Amino acid sequence: MEWNRRDILLGGLALTAAAAVQKSAFAQASSYFSGTAVDNGVTYRSTNFAKIDPKWRRQVVKYFSSEPIGTVVVDTRHHFLYLIMENKTAIRYGVGVGREGFKWYGRATIDQKSLWPKWTPPPEMRVRHPELPESVDGGSPKNPLGPRAMYLLRDGVDTGYRFHGTLEPGSIGKDASSGCIRMFNEDAIDLYQRCPIGTAVQVLPHIADQAPQVSDATPVE
């Protein structure tokens, strides 16, 4: 096959366009981070909350529920996690949830917690993505669990799902995971310290009748 000048020119333009798109996507992803922070001796990239829609930021809201104080409730449709507090309030966190085909619902408990956890992709994930490593050490900048993991068990059996941090702050508020509940790294650290072992968890399709209006919210630092 012979290439003429026009083919070479068009090919060069296509490569240039592809490189520009890749560079733009990288720049957009990088813009979700700003500076660094240190946690338990590990340096990690801080979330650039100036780029985040305010509704996904951690805040105290009005919340009416029959669940006991201290329970965690996840509204997967609206991408919020609520930690129920006293006086009909809750701390609300924006989260990323399972994409289509990976959603799950039901009750569980936080029966294990880990600081800067090691990540071991489950066998079924490695079947879908054979390029994945067998494991990634905790604290690695390539570890998708981030600084904290809270493991969800049901009747003593690991569900395989966790609350954890993320390498992709832009995925918060979206259906993006393989079933786990993603949080901003700062929020994963915050929730971790508020939830002792044995914390009850309820994951629901939605709780529209209980969800507060944004105007009722108070930022939490």
pLDDT tens for residues 67-119? 999 999 999 999 999 999 999 999 999 999 987 766 788 999 999 999 999 99
Q: Is residue 84 within 8 Å of 191, Cβ to Cβ?
A: no
| Average pLDDT of the residues in 117-140 | 85
Q: Catalytic annotation on 180?
A: yes
Least confident of 30-34, 51-55, 73-77: 30-34
Given the residues 78, 129, 180, 195, the one annotated as active site:
180
pLDDT tens, residue by residue, 158-191: 998 999 999 999 999 999 887 899 999 999 999 9
Could you tell me the pLDDT band of residue 11, with boundaries at 50, 70 and 90? low
pTM of the model: 0.79
End-to-end CA separation in angstroms for the chain:
64
Q: Which fold has domain 54-219?
A: L,D-transpeptidase catalytic domain-like (2.40.440)
pLDDT of 22 > 60? The answer is no
**For residue 56, which amino acid is it?**
W
Rounded Cα distance between 81 and 202, Å, is 10
- Checking if the pLDDT of 220 tops 80, the result is no
Q: Locate the domains of the chain by residue range.
A: 5-30, 54-219
Of the residues 129, 164, 195, 206, which is catalytic? 164
Model confidence band, residue 207 (pLDDT cutoffs 50, 70, 90): low
Predicted confidence (pLDDT) at residue 203 exceeds the cutoff of 70: yes
pLDDT of the residue at 170 = 95
> What count of other Cβ atoms lies within 10 Å of the Cβ of residue 31?
13
Structure tokens at 45: 């990239």
Q: Using DSSP, state whether 188 is helix, strand or coil.
A: helix
- Distance, in Å, from the CA atom of 77 to the CA atom of 175, rounded to the nearest integer, reads 9
Tell me the C-alpha distance between 39 and 209, whole Å: 37
Question: How are beta strands 157-164 and 80-85 bridged, if at all?
Answer: unpaired
Report the chain's mean pLDDT, rounded to a whole number.
83
Interatomic CA distance for residues 99 and 47, integer angstroms: 23
- Alpha helix positions (H), 119-166: 123-128
